Structure 1
């Protein structure tokens, strides 16, 4: 017969063993979610215990948020809030959601900062060159991609649609001049106090260069509100990360580089609670007579920008502005872009074409993110 002391020790041992198993079962792990939105894919990786923050629940909330962004800001949906504004009466205030007014105002800030090199009303030129929603009703419904989505992220049927619908001939100088006449950020007023937007000219606001990043920010904010602090949210290559991973290491993100040699990124940066956005001349383009024409349109010239700059990556506090700044720098080029980045304290990594291949240059604010040399 077992003694009382032995029984007591056995019970205590079993309780300790059970507590150990419970502690192991509650250890934080990484959960993964994937889906489709804005004509591309999204992924969410977050830290949670096995029995908390169900992946199905988080995905449902993310899908609802992203669908709301599309309904509000997409130029590929004729009934979106943005498209209703683009058809609104000239000079008459348009009552809009605070989210749309806020994002238009943030776009206007960057438009003013760049003196219109980045212009939120570039839509007519984007449409003219075949990168916009002019024929959105003819596109495969689930794959109407934003201008910054890479070909490898688009469904095959959308790539087929692009090949058929990109212009076989270039727009005439007269067409370009007519489209440029409808571009001018200064004709858009965002009244954030009264949640109103006003067009003082027949301009077309296009948020494609910022809305995808805004979607990432919205999902990241949702995770934070759910008590999830360690995460990585990505939509079409634009990324926001939170606190470090469960093992205490920061999130490491690859800047692939335009050469795309194999699958090895050209540069890896370690980030905590920051955003990374990338734009490049290889991401979306068409060819006519062997000449490539990029989706990045220069509002000043009315033509696609296919200069020396091949790619730019921007690190920022939020993805929306990083997304827009990456587009701005692609238009400015590496030399003028570097000057602006240093003047404004923006962390930017520029990759440009040379006769020998590619070279890179970094703004002062980006240098701390470079890997430490041993």
Structure 2
């Protein structure tokens, strides 16, 4: 999964560009957040929408996201839920319910390769939010196997949508939403913008993207997919998209080395071990940023061989970048090919 400190709003700067239509303007919002960045480009924004209102809406949304899905905030809804040891039904917000519903959907469709109950395994490997437990060496195999007993989303999570409740079937189960929460946050910002009658935008938070409408040239948005070989900084692929979420997950983004072996932060929920296959990165284009975010993690956890079969079955646009000897090769689904 992808792990990072969730966005707590720090700074925002606004750039205004003149347009041929005096009643609209193009706006760029750039900000820094804890552990990541964001860049939002807005096209044909009504001039009656003031800078202060845009700033306020983005600020409020980032704080709202943080208070729901951040494992780094001890008072967030997910952190409070994790600390609750009851086996009785627990009330949750509509927002958290949306995230859990999507997590369950991807968990089922991915045959369990996406699992938000991985939290204790993530912590065991030192990739979690408990900074005092950060490791630079792998845990003992018996510790992995013991901790893995707490990982099974289908077994330990029950959702009652009609009552906004969930039940933890094991009091020690805890959830980590880092592989889906960022995408959900992007979707929330997109919803806020549409409510303001801003329908042409690109939102980029930490590399995950949501597009809507058209760009400044009145065309689809052009998205570059990065090369996972960090020694060669160039774009590996370019796609044109609109009204879609785009997310990339890679084994090169967060890892540690021990005795010459690299351990990725992407954990296989079946084994409790970091991935060890030829797929270096996965980019997914989906109907929402949350779906793209979750699927990118699931596909990277399983690798391109299994991932492509599921992508074709579910009609998902995805590109896998695999390492073959010293070369990088692209493996794409039929839905992805349609974007070219």
Contact 2:126/2:136 (8 A) holds in 1:
no
Distance 2:93 2:111 in 1: 27
Indicate the SS of the match to 2:235.
coil
**What's the offset of the Cα at 1:259?**
2.1
1:240 to 195, 206, 210: 210
Q: Which ranges in structure 2 are unaligned for 5 or more consecutive residues? A: 1-17
Q: Show the counterpart of 1:196.
A: 165
Distance 2:46 2:65 in 1: 30
Q: Show the counterpart of 1:107.
A: 103
**What's the offset of the Cα at 1:24?**
4.4
**What's the offset of the Cα at 1:263?**
4.3
Q: Show the counterpart of 1:35.
A: 31
Q: Show the counterpart of 2:113.
A: 117
**What's the offset of the Cα at 1:166?**
3.9
Distance 1:130 1:306 in 2: 17
**What's the offset of the Cα at 1:198?**
1.2
Root-mean-square deviation (CA, aligned residues, Å) is: 1.8
Contact 2:41/2:203 (8 A) holds in 1:
yes
| Mapping 1:345-364, distance limit 5 Å | 345-364=315-334
Map Cα deviations across residues 150-205 of structure 1 (whole Å, 9 max, x no partner).
Answer: xxxxxxxxxxxxxxx74233100121012101111021112221111210112111
Q: Show the counterpart of 1:289.
A: 259
Change (3 A) 1:265 1:116: same
Contact 1:38/1:70 (8 A) holds in 2:
no
Distance 1:197 1:74 in 2: 18
1:339 to 309, 320, 329: 309
Query: Which has the larger Rg?
Result: 1
Indicate the SS of the match to 2:120.
helix
Contact 1:37/1:67 (8 A) holds in 2:
no
Structure 2 residue 139 is matched with structure 1 residue 171: yes
Indicate the SS of the match to 2:276.
coil
**What's the offset of the Cα at 1:239?**
0.3
**What's the offset of the Cα at 1:83?**
1.2
Structure 2 residue 289 is matched with structure 1 residue 319: yes
Contact 2:220/2:242 (8 A) holds in 1:
yes
Map Cα deviations across residues 271-326 of structure 1 (whole Å, 9 max, x no partner).
Answer: 11111100011111111112111110011111111311011100001000110000
Indicate the SS of the match to 1:110.
helix
Distance 1:98 1:49 in 2: 29
**What's the offset of the Cα at 1:247?**
2.7
| Mapping 1:176-255, distance limit 5 Å | 176-186=144-154, 187-201=156-170, 202-255=172-225
Distance 1:220 1:49 in 2: 14
Contact 1:26/1:49 (8 A) holds in 2:
no
| Mapping 1:145-156, distance limit 5 Å | none
**What's the offset of the Cα at 1:52?**
3.2
Map Cα deviations across residues 256-279 of structure 1 (whole Å, 9 max, x no partner).
Answer: 121246543111111111111000
TM-score normalised by structure 2 residue count: 0.90
Moved over 4 A (4+): 22-25, 260-263
Contact 2:247/2:283 (8 A) holds in 1:
yes
Contact 2:183/2:208 (8 A) holds in 1:
yes
Distance 2:20 2:328 in 1: 48
Change (3 A) 1:26 1:183: same
Distance 1:117 1:285 in 2: 19
Indicate the SS of the match to 1:179.
helix
Structure 2 residue 303 is matched with structure 1 residue 307: no
Map Cα deviations across residues 319-341 of structure 1 (whole Å, 9 max, x no partner).
Answer: 00110000000011011100010
Q: Which ranges in structure 1 are unaligned for 5 or more consecutive residues? A: 1-21, 139-164
Q: Show the counterpart of 1:5.
A: none
